[in-house]
Amino acid sequence: MGSALMAPDLTDLAFGGIRTLRELGQRIPIGGGVLAGSLHEAVRGRIIMVTGASSGIGEATVLRLGDAGATVLLVARTRKKLRAVAAEVQGRGGTAFVHPCDLSDVDDVDRLAHEVLDQHGHVDILVNNAGKSIRRSVDRSYDRFHDYQRTMALNYFAPVKLMLVLLPVMRERGSGHIVNISTIGLQVNTPRFAAYLASKAALDAFSRSIGPEVIGDGVHLTTVYMPLVRTPMIAPTRIYDRLPTLSPEQAANMVTEAIRKRPKKVATALGNLGQLTYAIAPGAQDLVVNRAYRLFPEADGPHDRITEAEQRAFARATRGVHW
């Protein structure tokens, strides 16, 4: 009788161990792709919220997720654009719901999060993709404190507010995944992006701190250090017309791979090299990046006799970095 009572406990322990080993294996860069299932297996029947879903990376990601069988919740400011993307998802056989929200307004974010829980019950996967980038040197920002306030509002406070509302339900259900779209700039310490990088660094630090708290409840956090992507967000910076970039579809592939494998982070080789270089020789990296700062001036700044050929050569060597 004692053995009979112990058997279920041993079985639970065995299954728990297998699950833990598989989850650990998925976080190993090489083994993760082998042990993880397909995207269809990862998202079929799941409710996935994507912010910034009306264009660019968000739109491309939503289409991929819809094709794979997910129920996608589209979040952005403009209802008309969201409806157009939702119609495309549905036209391809997917399921999509539109949830307009001004993510720069924390009260509206709170309304959105509770609206989603009321209508859908829970969110399985949250993709914090919406973001605001500002390319401006600090000497042009002395009287522009509002730049830092605006980037923090959208890039940090909005995703944190969403997580604070959605996380309790994820933890109660024993399952959840949060994917934060960050930037390669955090790894390379790109100049001219102090406002943008600071807001992304804050979100990164928040996620790294809560990660150990929630992993025991089956909730995973992944940060994608995204390289430069040709989206409407970078369109005003004309110099990027000459730089190599990812397409939104290639960026969406990085996001969906993050969802499929659930690693701690997704990054490019160049980004990881930049992070390592700064850890070993931060002063030397500053000197190299200062050269890039001079190679790629402000939109109306002098070129310091720099040739386009030199710019192209440096851009190829640092592919994906938003100088």
Beta carbons within 10 angstroms of residue 148's beta carbon: 16
**Do residues 322 and 193 make contact, with C-beta atoms less than 8 angstroms apart?**
yes
Rounded Cα distance between 112 and 118, Å, is 10
Q: Estimate the crossing angle of helix 158-173 against helix 194-214, to 10 degrees.
A: 10
Q: By C-alpha distance, which of 204, 208, 101, 104 is closest to 151?
A: 104
Whole-number Cα distances in Å, 102 to 52, 110, 165, 171, 264 = 10, 10, 17, 26, 29
Q: Which residue is catalytic, options 142, 156, 196, 293?
A: 196
Whole-number Cα distances in Å, 65 to 10, 98, 170, 265 = 37, 15, 20, 20
φ and ψ of 281, to 5 deg:
-140, 75
Write the Ramachandran bin of 125: left for phi over 0, alpha for psi from -120 to 50, otherwise beta.
beta
Q: Estimate the crossing angle of helix 79-91 against helix 56-67, to 10 degrees.
A: 30
Rounded Cα distance between 114 and 121, Å, is 9
In the three-class reduction of DSSP (H, G, I as helix; E, B as strand; rest coil), residue 261 is classed as helix
Write the Ramachandran bin of 126: left for phi over 0, alpha for psi from -120 to 50, otherwise beta.
beta
196 in catalytic set: yes
Rounded Cα distance between 253 and 246, Å, is 10
Rounded Cα distance between 204 and 184, Å, is 12
**Do residues 141 and 194 make contact, with C-beta atoms less than 8 angstroms apart?**
yes
Active site residues: 196
